[in-house]
Amino acid sequence: MERLGDYRKRFRVAVHAYCLMPNHVHILVETNFPPLSRFMQGLQQSYTQYFNRTHRKIGHVFQGRYKAIVCDKDEYLLALVRYIHQNPVRAKMVRRAEDYPYSGQRSYLAGQVNEVVDPRLVLEMLGGKRAYRRFMDEAAGEGHREDYYQVQDQRFLGSTEFEERVKEAVEEEEPHQPKKPLRLILRKVAQAAGMEPEILAGTDRTWAVSKSRALAGYVLTRRMGYGLGEVSSCLGRDIATMSSLLSRFSARVAEDPKLRKEIEQIVKIV
């Protein structure tokens, strides 16, 4: 919860609903820039590092990549808020949604913004807290909604017109699939960043080299689509070190417009 609240503010996204279940998480997020992928990568990497450090584990915490579905806000926002907050009731973990402490339901009933969720938009759409409670009560007995998962192109929840309207914008979030040998692209990225790849892969830890190393790693993994393992190897770092480096650098990217512009220029050059 602490990390979800921190990354919500850091990446300036609105969380309309969330529910942390024992084996999965639902988050209903509205984002503009940075894209959803950067918010989720930062959140997952930060939590994985915390979990592994706390429990003395190594490796992945989450099974596979998160599943992102873009929904039509006007058509599905209210229904999805209700569906997400009713998760514990459908799972027979609690009798009422507000009895479950790990969701946004209590904030909605109180009409209060907290570190994670902002209920004001939905409450305004429905007409206040009482109207929201009635809206939730109408879902009593609602079962699993398979139609929420059988989405257009496995990515869109809405009409065909909605899909076509946003598809180009959504695809901009996806990193380009690597088409050329990594070492060739690394050399181009390093030169665009004003550094030789041999220096980036060396032992120099001065500020200028460390920044260029993080910049190169970020462009290669987050923007060019190369794997973290192979990028770490090319830069002479282990995966854990590189993952931590990219996590810190991603936070800087979210807060620094000049750095984002520099990254865009390097991507265009490469």
* 3-state helix/strand/coil string of 84-95: HHCHHHHCCCCC
Asked if residue 106 has pLDDT above 80, the reply is yes
Task: Summarize the confidence of residues 74-99 as an average pLDDT.
Answer: 88
Question: Which pLDDT band, with edges at 50, 70 and 90, does 228 fall under?
Answer: confident
Ranges in the chain annotated CATH 1.10.1750.10: 182-269
Give Cβ neighbours of residue 73 (< 8 Å, ≥ 6 apart).
30
CATH class (in words) of the domain with range 182-269: mainly alpha
Q: What is the pLDDT of residue 141?
A: 62
Residue with tokens 């808020």: 81
Q: What is the pLDDT of residue 220?
A: 86
Q: What is the pLDDT of residue 167?
A: 54
Domain 2-171 has CATH 3.40.50: no
Position with higher pLDDT, 132 vs 253: 132
Give the pairing of strands 25-30 and 14-20. Answer: antiparallel
Q: What is the pLDDT of residue 142?
A: 65
Asked if residue 78 has pLDDT above 90, the reply is no
> Smallest Cα–Cα separation from 259: which of 126, 3, 52, 251?
251
Question: Which pLDDT band, with edges at 50, 70 and 90, does 103 fall under?
Answer: very high
Q: What is the pLDDT of residue 86?
A: 92
Question: How does DSSP classify residue 148?
Answer: G
Q: What is the pLDDT of residue 267?
A: 83
Q: For 129-182, what is each residue's pLDDT tens digit?
A: 999 999 888 876 666 665 555 444 445 555 555 455 555 544 444 444 545 788
Q: What is the pLDDT of residue 172?
A: 45
Question: How does DSSP classify residue 70?
Answer: E
Asked if residue 205 has pLDDT above 80, the reply is yes
C-alpha distances out from residue 225 to 46, 82, 182, Å: 20, 35, 10
| Separation CA 153–CA 123 (nearest Å) | 31
| Separation CA 168–CA 181 (nearest Å) | 27
What's the whole-number average pLDDT of the chain?
81
Determine what percent of the chain falls in helix, strand and coil, rounding each to the nearest 5: 55, 5, 35
Give Cβ neighbours of residue 254 (< 8 Å, ≥ 6 apart).
10, 11, 12, 34, 38, 42
Task: Summarize the confidence of residues 106-128 as an average pLDDT.
Answer: 92
DSSP per residue, 175-194: PPPP-S-HHHHHHHHHHHTT
Structure tokens that stand for 189 in this block: 């990225």
Ranges in the chain annotated CATH 3.30.70: 2-171
Q: What is the pLDDT of residue 161?
A: 54
Percent of the chain with pLDDT over 90: 27
